[in-house]
Structures are given as C-alpha cells and as structure tokens.
Amino acid sequence: MKRRAKIVLVVDDESAIRRLVARTLLVRGFAALEARNGLEAVELYASYHSDIALVVTDLDMPVMDGLEAIDRMRELSPAVRIVVMTGVGRDTTLTGCHLLPKPFTLAQLLEEVERALA
C-alpha cells in the first residue's frame, strides 16, 4: 500500500519564495498547500489541520502577519509544528518554533523541515 504524503502548509506573501519552497517539498515527497498571507493560512489550517504535518511560514506579511497566524493556528492545535522563515535581525524568541534564517539554501530548508518533523 502506498504511503500518503505528509502535507506542509507554506505561507509567504512573496510568490517566488512560496512556490520555490512548495516545489522543493513536492520533489522530496511532501504534499504542499500554499497561502499568500496569515489569514489564508489560518483558513486553510482550520479546514485541514488534522492533515497538516507542518507549517512553514514567513513572519512579515500583509493582511495578517505570521505571529498572529501562529497564535490562531495554536488555538486550533497547540501541538502544531512550525518552521519560521525569518530575515536577519528579526527577534528569534518564538517559543516552540524552528527557525530558518533568510536567505537559506534548499538543503537548509529540507534539513529544518526534517528536524521539525522528527
């Protein structure tokens, strides 16, 4: 029987970054959902949180930033696994989140995803 792919929710307002992260994950055997901002992420997470293994999110986004989105997703599922893509100089005291400093390589992305899922 074929094993179902783990689903990763990728959240970033920059379409090039979002698509690159999603495609990289797809090549590695993950399924990916994409959201352009925190509000879309929360809506997707509310609908699919039991199927989503991991959230990979930016912090600085329009409509709803990553911090608020993380808080709302944690209200739905306190054990949500999260990798935060963050720019240099950003406060890195996000409790319970794995941090992936920007810029990052695709290898670093995959390493952090695997670490978060372990």
Angle between helices 66-76 and 38-48 (to 10 degrees): 10
Residue 103 domain flag: yes
Residue 93 domain flag: yes
pLDDT tens by residue, 19-56 = 999 999 999 999 999 999 999 999 999 999 999 999 99
Q: What is the predicted pLDDT for the residue at 79? A: 92
Residue 29 domain flag: yes
- The total number of structural domains that make up the chain: 1
Residue 1 domain flag: no
Gap between the terminal Cα atoms of the chain: 23
Residue 82 domain flag: yes
Domain that holds residue 78: 7-117
CATH number where 31 lies: 3.40.50.2300
What's the one-letter identity of residue 35? A
Total-model pTM: 0.91
Coil/strand/helix, residue 17? helix
pLDDT confidence bin for 72, thresholds 50/70/90: very high
Residue 15 domain flag: yes
Helix (H) or strand (E) holding 70: helix 66-76
Residue 2 domain flag: no
